A and B are shown apart, each in its own frame.
Chain A
């Protein structure tokens, strides 16, 4: 099963872009990359997902490298409410299983 590696923590100034990296070097060709965040032990909140192409929605952008071995989640204008633990997840091919990484604790500073 593919696994992900994320930096344990990052800081970002309010109003600046937050770039959260994720390494998934053993990802298989049909496995998706998902990003979720978890605020204060609430349930994880879906942010975005992708397979090969870069994706953008109202919350964030997802940049996946051409070899698919890593990706970056971009929050374009971070606010204090974006302070959370961000999880990069690879979906296990052939099942409904998510494999959560250890997450990055993002702290947005005023």
Chain B
């Protein structure tokens, strides 16, 4: 089973709202990722967690706050977003033991900021 699940599928929020995106995997993977994808563009890496510790932050604004409560869960907390943050947010996971290893992606959460 190579399934990564993400909830919700769609999210509409105002600029003053606080919301969270959730990602879950049960493959025993120890690396988890958040990507952002704008329309007609490739995914761009935001964060990487390795063994529940943040290992890469690609200079993402602080209005995006990641959290990895355990090895199966990854959250992305959203606060005071801007309309330009509207995008498809993708979660991925990989084994976490070796560089350059296969990442498995979830279906994404489509976010609209009004």
Contact = CB atoms under 8 A, between A and B. Distances in A.
Given A96-B55, A96-B56, A97-B56, A43 B99 contact: no
Contacts, number: 61
A43 B6 CA distance: 10
B66 interface: no
Interface residues of B, number: 29
B102 A46 contact: yes
Interface stretch (A65-73, A75-83, A87-95): A87-95
A97 B104 CA distance: 13
Contacts of B50: 96
Binding site of A, secondary structure by majority: helix, strand, loop or mixed?
A: loop
B42 A87 contact: yes
Contacts of B7: none
Closest 5 CB pairs of A and B: A100-B42, A43-B105, A91-B100, A32-B100, A44-B105
